[in-house]
Structure 1
């Protein structure tokens, strides 16, 4: 296919030298990484969003993306392996708790049928807002 495109002059072949490679590299600022991470969260691409927030140096958003990814993973896995899904959901709840996103932590513990703990986090959310 590439040879065909070359014959049709759709693509050009050039030697890749250091100057061209440097010109192609664009350094992104932490704000750009964070904005890209938020866009990826919106489309539920949690793993890549986590990486973007890590590059931005934003621990809160990185942990949030990681926790959301774990919660989504637990939901998908629940039918096939409920025990492993519970462990993953508990990890997500702990991550949400660590960054004070109490209503998400409450959701996790509610799904785990740990109603007292879910209630505690719901109360914490009410007292924070």
Structure 2
């Protein structure tokens, strides 16, 4: 199954009773495995989970930590980029040149990289002490 198809299928399972804004994400790891996520809302809004975070959690739960590519889809007029927190989560597990495809349900796509989504990302090098 393509990342596009996997993200579309995951999006259909989104739990969004408040916003009605379904998002799906699918990522491919260095082993070739695909992991998916969808957004899950909660009546206490800050307690929801983004689709990208769900896919990353599924990847880590499966014992993997290397994102090679990620695909995110939403029903919006233009492709929707991940929120700031998810950009940082993606950057934690992907190389700067990793492909990120942002898509709409009607077929529009924007292809970018992790580096373009999050220039100047905070990374482990920032935590090294001299």
| Fold agreement, TM-score > 0.5 | no
TM-score, normalising length: structure 1: 0.32
Structure index of larger Rg: 1
Higher relative contact order (CA 8 A, sep 6+): 2
TM-score, normalising length: structure 2: 0.32
